[in-house]
Structure 1
């Protein structure tokens, strides 16, 4: 009998306990380097992280958990802008999200606005992922004064109480707050009740389906753009030079 031929598209989703969120240059890769043996690329320009990476955080001889670092999100990421939206599906199988927010951004942007921007894009992509437990970490605390850090903490506590379970102040360079954050994360993961685990499994199923549906929407949008570009080929001539 004649065989059958199929075109298959396989999508792999990483499995991690903690998923990192944040703008480009929020300090995610530096954090992973500080708490694990992973060595993602770190530099002082946006979009240093181009693909997801995993780091294993070890607590003693018999305990560990996995952290997933994905490319940073930007405004309108839910519409396809930037790189991070293509990798958000990996957060569907995490147990808690750690949102890193730069205390004193080099571009002078407002940390609270940056926090709200990422939360908005996350909700637009998948409400199930947005419903996961959320912790906040104010990163690069060594680049700001104590009063500046406290001012941001106060504003975040007033703004983010509905979603954020905990707020930490950290510096991956000096080590400030890192041990406390890692210790609390490990204990949180260890102490999850059966009810919390069942809720987590339900969220994972919802998030996985929403991520798949969103991927289909993006793929269809790209297909339509390609068709439009082909239709317009007779109107525009593009020359490539090296």
Structure 2
């Protein structure tokens, strides 16, 4: 509902080589270990045309896997941002998902215009609430 809340931690410094300590890699990766859900935010329309969003996304996933298999196995959703900056959004999203080899949940948003953000936040809240119930059942059943 409208009156519920949750905390999102933005980890912008996760770069290739983070699992070996590049940048603030280990600090950021340790912080991720406490999360319930990872949102992998990818700019589908990068400002630098030489950047390939699929390659960038794949590099981050590889860092998660190298650093900690449990972190890599955490629930992860793909959030494709800046849909307001591309022509033929549906085709661009479909192409990205296929190239990335993604099979999990996908959200297409424009953070600056708010497009798709309400659905995303409601779905995150639902996921968190359902996960709490599962965690409570596990504790009770142990």
TM-score, normalised by the number of residues in structure 1: 0.51
Task: Give the one of 115, 122, 125 matched to 1:186.
Answer: 125
State whether structure 2 residue 106 is matched by structure 1 residue 150: no
State whether structure 2 residue 65 is matched by structure 1 residue 123: yes
Highest RCO, 1 vs 2 (Cα 8 Å, sep ≥ 6) = 2
CA contact (8 A) 2:17 2:25 kept: no
> How far did 1:194 drift?
2.2
SS in 2 for 1:138: strand
Q: Distance in 1 between matches of 2:56 and 2:36?
A: 23
Unaligned 5+ segments in structure 1 are 1-58, 200-242
CA contact (8 A) 1:112 1:152 kept: no
The alignment's C-alpha RMSD in Å is 2.1
> How far did 1:85 drift?
3.6
Larger radius of gyration: 1
Unaligned 5+ segments in structure 2 are none
Q: Distance in 2 between matches of 1:181 and 1:86?
A: 27
2:53 alignment partner in structure 1 = 111
The structure carrying a bigger strand percent of its residues is: 1
CA contact (8 A) 1:100 1:139 kept: yes
Tell me: CA distance 1:113–1:197, structure 2 relative to 1, closer, same or farther (3 Å). Answer: farther
Tell me: CA distance 1:160–1:97, structure 2 relative to 1, closer, same or farther (3 Å). Answer: same
Q: Distance in 1 between matches of 2:123 and 2:107?
A: 10
Q: Distance in 2 between matches of 1:73 and 1:85?
A: 9
Q: Distance in 1 between matches of 2:93 and 2:114?
A: 18
1:73 alignment partner in structure 2 = 14
SS in 2 for 1:66: coil
Q: Distance in 1 between matches of 2:60 and 2:84?
A: 23
> How far did 1:176 drift?
0.6
Give the paired residue count: 135
Tell me: CA distance 1:196–1:101, structure 2 relative to 1, closer, same or farther (3 Å). Answer: farther
Alignment map for 1:128-143 (pairs within 5 Å): 128-143=70-85
Q: Distance in 2 between matches of 1:105 and 1:130?
A: 25
Tell me: CA distance 1:78–1:184, structure 2 relative to 1, closer, same or farther (3 Å). Answer: same
